[in-house]
């Protein structure tokens, strides 16, 4: 009786050791080993993607305008277009003001203004679009001017805000939204099953994630604008962009989970983190990335979101149409695919369709 009072819950005896092979089978299931191999592949892919994108940035056809007298304009454009390694794609501009407009509407990244009456020219840049591109354009301009026995003065017509160090806040804001979107969807999947039991639950999950996206977009905007003052003056636009970005990531994650179960989370990490982040134009804009990352960056939500936020805040919304359509496409296609795949799987489980 005393033992029962002091320890009311009887303890099950420890399971006896049944041999190494039997214990190994219980400790490491085939499914567990397969998932570990998948994690290893993602880990190595992460290392390959990030180092591959960033280990040797090299300019590729940076769009540059040239303002020069008619007699010299073609020569300068030709010199720029024939620099070794094809770092620049040059075009003529009629005036300094036109060149400035081309930079601010995101048609070019820099402009060289030739002074026919002196030996010093001017390079116009807007480092808010990415200090790495501005610095690279300066290096190229100095190289060209040295060959022409001239000097160059750099004028930054639109630097990042003082509280937006190196113009990286746009990227970090979008990165936070993307992570929140796919983690929220993944957690719902882990808590309630990666594949919802019926179509109604899929719709409810998507609706809950839409509400989460609106709240998340608002939260990120509040932190970035009134709290930290990093990206100011565009509260409503950033809220809308944040909500769209979060839901694009969340809906795509739900679709991947309905299609592939737990493996779908790994596919999400592959698309958004391993491929999307290094190609997004955060640390290095696309014109400095290797061909593969340069090609995919603008078609993935991290890159589309970063461009949309940066150009909204600094460049009056110029050149964001493609980015908006990319985010909308992920949101709509993710939703449609999640619903269609869920409906198809449920019909098949009831024997109403077959392969």
> Mind listing the pLDDT tens digit for each residue in 250-266?
999 999 999 998 889 99
Q: Do 108 and 63 meet the contact criterion of CB atoms below 8 Å apart?
A: yes
For the residues 113-140, what does the mean pLDDT come to?
92
Q: Does the pLDDT of residue 197 top 70, yes or no?
A: no
**How confident is residue 218, by pLDDT bands cut at 50, 70 and 90?**
very high
- Between helix 235-260 and helix 169-192 the angle, nearest 10°, is 40
- CA-CA distance, 318 to 320, in Å (whole number)? 6
- CA-CA distance, 217 to 272, in Å (whole number)? 18
Region(s) of the chain under CATH 3.40.1710.10: 62-156
Residues near 340 by beta carbon (within 8 Å), at least 6 away in sequence: none
Q: Do 46 and 80 meet the contact criterion of CB atoms below 8 Å apart?
A: no
Q: How far is CA 182 from CA 36, 174, 189, 279, in A?
A: 21, 12, 10, 18
Residues near 54 by beta carbon (within 8 Å), at least 6 away in sequence: 278, 283, 284
Q: Does the pLDDT of residue 176 top 70, yes or no?
A: yes
Q: Do 302 and 172 meet the contact criterion of CB atoms below 8 Å apart?
A: no
What is the pLDDT of the chain when averaged over all its residues? 90
> Mind listing the pLDDT tens digit for each residue in 57-95?
999 999 999 999 988 899 889 989 998 889 999 999 999
> Mind listing the pLDDT tens digit for each residue in 310-337?
999 999 999 999 999 999 999 999 999 9
Q: For the range 146-154, what are the long-range contacts, defined as Cβ-Cβ under 8 Å and sequence gap of 24 or more?
A: 147/79, 148/79, 149/119, 150/119, 150/120, 150/121, 151/119, 151/120, 151/121, 152/112, 152/120, 152/121, 152/122, 152/123, 153/120, 153/121, 153/122, 153/123, 154/122, 154/123, 154/125
CATH topology of domain 62-156: abc type-2 transporter like fold (3.40.1710)
Which pLDDT score, from 0 to 100, does residue 354 have?
43
Q: What is the DSSP-derived secondary structure letter of residue 166?
A: G
Which pLDDT score, from 0 to 100, does residue 288 have?
95
User: Is 35 or 209 the better-scoring residue by pLDDT?
Assistant: 209
**Tokens 């567990």, residue located:** 32
Helix (H, G, I), strand (E, B) or coil at 155: strand
Q: Do 280 and 298 meet the contact criterion of CB atoms below 8 Å apart?
A: no
Which pLDDT score, from 0 to 100, does residue 21 have?
74
The vertex-288 CA angle with 137 and 169, nearest 5°, equals: 90
């Amino acid at each position: 009786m005393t033992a029962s009072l002091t320890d009311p819950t009887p303890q099950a005896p420890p399971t006896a050791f049944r041999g190494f092979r039997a214990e190994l089978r219980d400790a490491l299931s085939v499914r567990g080993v397969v998932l570990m191999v998948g994690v290893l592949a993602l880990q190595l892919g992460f290392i390959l993607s990030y180092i591959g994108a960033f280990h040797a940035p090299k300019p590729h056809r940076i769009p540059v305008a040239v303002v020069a007298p008619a007699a010299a304009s073609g020569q300068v454009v030709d010199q720029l277009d024939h620099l070794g390694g094809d770092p620049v794609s040059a075009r003529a501009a009629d005036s300094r003001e036109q060149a400035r407009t081309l930079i601010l509407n995101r048609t070019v990244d820099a402009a060289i203004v030739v002074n026919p009456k002196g030996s010093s020219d001017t390079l116009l840049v807007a480092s808010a679009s990415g200090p790495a591109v501005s610095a690279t354009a300066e290096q190229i301009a100095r190289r060209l001017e040295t060959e022409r026995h001239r000097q160059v003065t750099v004028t930054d017509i639109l630097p990042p805000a003082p509280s937006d160090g190196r113009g990286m806040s746009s990227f970090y804001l979008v990165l936070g939204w993307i992570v929140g979107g796919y983690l929220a969807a993944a957690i719902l999947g882990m808590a309630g099953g990666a594949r919802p039991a019926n179509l109604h639950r899929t719709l409810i999950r998507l609706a809950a994630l839409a509400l989460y996206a609106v709240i998340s977009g608002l939260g990120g905007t509040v932190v970035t604008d009134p709290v930290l003052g990093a990206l100011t003056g565009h509260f409503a636009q950033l809220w809308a962009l944040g909500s769209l970005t979060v839901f694009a990531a969340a809906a795509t994650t739900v679709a991947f989970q309905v299609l592939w179960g737990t493996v779908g989370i790994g596919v999400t990490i592959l698309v958004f983190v391993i491929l999307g982040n290094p190609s997004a134009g955060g640390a290095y804009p696309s014109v400095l990335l290797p061909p593969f990352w340069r090609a995919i960056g603008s078609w993935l939500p991290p890159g589309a979101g970063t461009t949309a936020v940066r150009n909204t805040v600094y460049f009056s919304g110029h050149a964001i149409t493609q980015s908006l359509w990319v985010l909308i496409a992920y949101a709509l296609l993710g939703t449609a695919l999640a619903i269609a795949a869920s409906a198809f799987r449920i019909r098949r489980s009831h024997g109403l369709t077959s392969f």
